[in-house]
Amino acid sequence: MLKLLSLRQEVLARWAVIGLLILLCAPWVLPSSKLYHQLTAVFLWLPALLALFHNDFRARLRQPEILLFAALALWTLLVLLVQGAAEPQSKVKLPFYVALSLLGVMLAALDVRWSLESLLRLCVWLGGLGAAASTLYYFGAGPAPGQRLIALGLWDTAIMAAHAVGALSLLGVFLYIRPINKPALSVSLALVALAYVVFLGLNHTRGVWLALFVALIFLLLAKPTRKGFLVILLMLVGVAALAIVEPQSIVERGVSYRPTLWMGGIQLFSDNWLLGLGFKPYEIAVPAIHVSFKHPHNLFLDIAVRLGLPGLMLFSLLWLATLWRAWLNRGEPLGRALLALWTFASVALLTDGIGLWLKPNADWLITWLPIALGMVLAMRCAAVNVEDKSER
């Protein structure tokens, strides 16, 4: 145990790099969520926990985002204590799992061999292979008419798979934006991009299509470029082609009863506005189809229902702090990528968000990953400020 505690921060950072790759890429190939969580615990959470014994690492945690997360986690635990849950012993662990994951990403970003941007590029490339394999399996299995494409492995629900693939594709757009002089890499990236486009098209999650479009529009307004206009033009052409070739994919499901679900969520929130319902299960009825849903398909409403107004305000402040950090760093590739991911996630979570305090799953790529990247940018900004002061 003493040997583990004495490991150098550089060694722990390399350890956490493996954990980050597992968190973002392993679901394509792992057979069970239990194994996924165990590997994440060993390779991401454990080095993050050990890093807390280093003064240098603890000093990097002095940032507003960490304080906001701590306040949100403490409020969540208070609500859990007062309101209870079906399985309180498992729910009480979730804020700690998330905290260690955020710290793990920050630790991995300190690796001197690989920058975080390089790691994310690798994840994007591997994700493209996963999307291609999922598409080939989809056609090989002979899909039924209207069947939606899902991912191989653990991301086996349509909406959550679309969230993960959409997040990876956007990271790829803004992290691979610089010219590439290697023909082989250019060809492989073109194939990866094609795999993402085909996957998202056959997945038929319209909320993700809208989120991608809004994200690219927002980035174009934030930093106008000719390439950005070209990307948006190509997207418009793609949407028009889809509307002509397969119009039912756009209109067949209407608005999927979202207004009814949102109104039900608002009513539950208004009845429990202070402490929320905690982690107790709840249902929202949709009389038109005689079916009840376990959440309002809106992350922000679900947070309000479960954690009350204070919980919603704390998460909103943390989410806005992530936006502010991305905006301040929009001149850098990671800042632009985070800005795109934050916008995409915000729109996607408004229409299809299912919950915040869950074990690692596909939706972590649009909930906790953006927050972790914002913390990395905050850590870098603090390091630059310290260097500037030392040079004066």
pLDDT at 251: 47
pTM, two decimal places: 0.90
Domain range annotation of the chain: 2-391
How many other C-beta atoms can be found within 10 angstroms of the C-beta atom of residue 122?
Answer: 16
**pLDDT for residue 35:** 96
Rg (CA), the chain: 21
User: C-alpha 309: how far from its chain's center?
Assistant: 23
At position 102, the amino acid (one-letter code) is L
- Among 15-29, 285-299, 310-324, the minimum mean pLDDT is found in 285-299
Helices (H) and strands (E) in the chain, counts: 18, 2
- What's the whole-number average pLDDT of the chain? 86
Neighbours of 79 (CB within 10 A): 22
Give the pLDDT score at 178.
62
Task: Look at residue 367 and give its three-state secondary structure.
Answer: coil
For residue 328, pLDDT over 90 is answered with yes
The pair of three-digit structure tokens given for residue 93, joined into one six-digit string: 């662990």
Which residue has better confidence, 100 or 284? 100
Report how far residue 310's alpha carbon sits from residue 300's, in angstroms, rounded to the nearest whole number. Answer: 12
Of 76-80, 214-218, 233-237, the one with minimum mean pLDDT is 233-237
Question: So what's the pLDDT on residue 255?
Answer: 55
Instruction: Specify whether the CB–CB gap between 312 and 302 falls below 8 A.
Output: no
% of the chain beyond a pLDDT of 70: 86
Judge residue 221's burial from the number of C-beta atoms within 10 Å of its C-beta, 0-12 exposed, 13-18 middle, 19 or more buried. exposed
Position 21 scores a pLDDT of 96
Q: What is the dihedral of CA 34, 299, 160, 49, to 10 degrees?
A: -40
Closest CA relative to residue 374, chosen from 331, 308, 318, 296: 318
pLDDT of residue 4: 57
Res 338 pLDDT > 60? yes
- Residues 311, 76: contact at Cβ < 8 Å? yes
* Mean of pLDDT values over 144-154: 84
